[in-house]
A and B are shown apart, each in its own frame.
Chain A
Amino acid sequence: MRFLCTVLVVSLLAACAAPQTTDGQPPAAVEDRGGKPGASGVQAKPITSVDLTGRPVAGALKDPNSILSKRSVFYEFDKYDVKDEYKPLIEAHATYLRENGATRMLIQGNTDERGSREYNIALGQRRSESVKRMLMLLGGREDQIEAVSLGEEKPRAAGTSEDAWTQNRRSDMLYPGEY
């Protein structure tokens, strides 16, 4: 029974992995009853393609009325915990990742300019990891998500004001073509 369930889930994931059309709707899934060679006794894994084409993101991800168009989580100084106000945003992206199994995400953690550049790389990593962990708890797959850090090296806002620093203490959730 468990094996049957696995096969079912696998084929559903495979269906989700099909290429998307430009309006963001997946084309009709084609059910494949043929099975896979060597599937018996070995858990079959879905094949996801390496997509280097960097097509512009379309659909809900770009729709300003959709929460999915928002990508950034902001932090307090020297902190990496995700504040409650960002949980709906992360939930929405987790759902998107779950429903679009072939999609990948890069999370870039950033810090303000104060302190050690290397410590800030590590702090930015803690920030991106905290978002990644939350996405995974909500259904994103480990192999879909890479968390990295840019430390203080790529500030969104220039300057040394508290306002600039606030904007720069940030994790960004990015899809292929956006980084």
Chain B
Amino acid sequence: MRRLLAAALLSLAAWPALGQLSIEITGAGGQRIPVAIAPFAGEGALPVGTAGVAGMGITAILRADLERSGLFRALEVPPLVPPPTESSNVNYAEWKSRLADALVLGSVAVRADGRYEVRFRLYDVVKQAPIGGVAYTISRDQLRATAHRIADYVYEKLSGEKGVFSTKIAYVVKRGTRFELQVADADGANEQAMLVSYEPIISPAWSPSGKRIAYVSFQNKKPIVYVQDVEVPKQNVVANFKGSNSAPAWAPDGSRLAVALSRDGNSQIYLISPDGSNPRRLSNSGGIDTEPNFSPDGLWLYFTSDRGGSPQIYRMPAVGGEAQRITFEGSYNVSPRVSPDGKSLAYIMRNGGKFQAALLDLSTRQVQVLTDSELDESPSFAPNGRQILLATVINGRGVLSAVSSDGRVKQRLTLSAGDVREPAWGPLVQ
């Protein structure tokens, strides 16, 4: 089963059209794994809209997550009488005749204290064996998150990789003259503004813990780097030196940020503590050094520099030292982001006047262009590395798009009004 799934692995997280962001799959993958998800027993008795958004219950959210992952096909399962639960005897032959390779059965019940009990079990229909299951006791407002947890469980058991349905994304929305730094669930639901300003906001970056976001705000008429706790509406200045302060990137252990500062002239890379103490200059070029990004092992800093005459990607030891050039094809290669496994590098290349996302295999040096867009910016890996979130422009409007790291499956996320840009995919949460 796992090999079968791995062969068809096209990656992808879920983007159900639930929240303010609506999601459209614009490029389909190949073979997808058929999964039957029976309506959770007892769900019909819950008040409509219990899971919080658009009246979708756990079953619907779970189906939408898996379906939009591009990896699975959620089979239509009519209501069954009596509704099967995680403790029912499974008639594998019947599910096989429904063409399911995997099956999810579950139940939802309200306890006397008002809390909810959600249980499910996952079955391998081909091997005719249960794979595993979980029981959760939760409050009503956790139903939606629980559906994502179940989707993560199913995704991981069937594909062997971590699911990212429970993660969050951050992005900037420009509505008229207003800029909003928004945080939402990975499926676009539960959008919440962390910062609203009449001056631009760019470059949000999640701390490795997922508790804080560093960003650049122009509220004081120039770029200044701030860190803000996701749950505390207070800005903390990290870098406000003479000149411009920008491009924050967290070290994998969260102890430091790499930033681009122009306090000594042109933009150069510095390390600084998240509280703004101990700034230390790392790069020493006569030109532009910016857009630092740590390798996941924390040993290297990838960055953009024009030291060779055109903007190209380089790397240097994270303690400072000599830089090596990484990109050679083309005259404009910017915005490096190392994949979570450290094996590849996503970046933006100018390709005959178009700005497109590309992926460089760091061992073979092979470059693959991932999109056919004209104005891609700001790539951001899903924490399982299976997908890359991008900002792009369609019909003059900023939208987010997601592309699988093999370039095969594409999705587009649009807002009903306003420009969306500067996406940042948050880390896996426990």
Flag whether A147 is at the interface (Cβ < 8 A). Answer: yes
Q: Provide the B190-233 mask, 1 if CB < 8 A to any CB of A, else 0.
A: 00000000001011000000000000101001110000000000
Q: Are B218 and A153 in contact (CB under 8 A)?
A: yes
Q: Are B355 and A115 in contact (CB under 8 A)?
A: yes
Q: Provide the B225-267 mask, 1 if CB < 8 A to any CB of A, else 0.
A: 0000000000000000011101100000000000010100111
Interface size, A (range): 20 to 34
Q: Are A122 and B288 in contact (CB under 8 A)?
A: yes
Please give the distance in Å from A147's CB to the nearest CB on chain B: 6
The residue in chain B whose Cβ has the minimal distance to the Cβ of A149 is: B244
User: How many angstroms from the CA of A78 to the CA of B221 in the assembled complex?
Assistant: 23
Most chain A Cβ neighbours within 10 Å, of B223, B244, B267, B334: B244
Chain A residues with Cβ under 8 A from B288's Cβ?
Answer: 119, 122-123, 125-126
Flag whether B304 is at the interface (Cβ < 8 A). Answer: yes
Chain B residues with Cβ under 8 A from A121's Cβ?
Answer: 202, 216, 223, 244, 246-247, 260, 267, 290
Identify whether the interface residues of A are mostly helix, strand, loop, or mixed.
Answer: mixed
Flag whether B332 is at the interface (Cβ < 8 A). Answer: yes
Chain A residues with Cβ under 8 A from B218's Cβ?
Answer: 150, 153-154
Flag whether A49 is at the interface (Cβ < 8 A). Answer: no
Q: Are A118 and B200 in contact (CB under 8 A)?
A: no
Chain B residues with Cβ under 8 A from A129's Cβ?
Answer: 262, 265-266
Contact of B223 (CB < 8 Å), options: A78, A147, A151, A160: A151
Flag whether B335 is at the interface (Cβ < 8 A). Answer: yes
Q: Are B203 and A125 in contact (CB under 8 A)?
A: no
Flag whether B311 is at the interface (Cβ < 8 A). Answer: yes
Chain A residues with Cβ under 8 A from B335's Cβ?
Answer: 116, 118-119
Please provide the chain A residues from 127 to 179 with a CB less than 8 Å away from any CB of chain B in the complex: 129, 146-151, 153-154, 160, 179
Please give the distance in Å from B58's CB to the nearest CB on chain A: 39
Task: List 16 contacting pairs A-B, 8 Å CB cutoff, sorted by A.
Answer: A114-B375, A115-B332, A115-B334, A117-B377, A118-B202, A118-B291, A121-B216, A121-B260, A121-B290, A122-B262, A122-B266, A123-B288, A125-B244, A126-B287, A149-B222, A153-B200
